[in-house]
Amino acid sequence: QAHVERLRRDGSRLLEEEQERLKKKLAEDLLNSQDDEKESYRRLRVSWDPKSYDYSQDDLNRIFFKYGDCDVVMSKKSGKALVEFHYSQAATRAMRSERGRSDAPLKVTYMDGSTEPKTRTHLSA
């Protein structure tokens, strides 16, 4: 009787440990998939009319750095740049808020041309 009870307790303990391990693994996998999803939302495409005002790399660094740490890569074509933020939330704030100078507006979008991050339901559709 005592032997059966000990085996039952050991089995229950092993089952609980396995369930806890699986929970942690699922949580980690979910977190990693969310990071991958957000990865594309750290980069912004910025364009402007260089005839109105030709933004320099320093101009764009000054403009976008206030939203968070970022790197600006100027295109060889005048009037275009890529801004890569360290965090997707900073990129989203910049994309939603930044318009540039009133006499030389900036067009800011995610790399896919969208102005809103796609939700999980959009991604699976």
- Answer for the pair 123, 40: CB distance below 8 angstroms, yes or no: no
Q: Is it true that domain 41-111 has CATH number 3.40.50.720?
A: no
Identity at 28, one-letter amino acid code: E
The predicted-structure confidence for 86-106, as pLDDT tens digits, reads as follows 888 899 999 999 999 999 999
| Sequence spans of domains, the chain | 41-111
**Rounded-to-integer distance, Cα 61 and Cα 72, Å:** 6
pLDDT per position in the chain (125 positions), as tens? 888 889 999 988 998 998 888 888 777 766 665 554 466 788 999 999 999 999 999 999 999 999 999 999 998 888 999 999 988 889 999 999 999 999 999 999 998 888 876 654 444 44
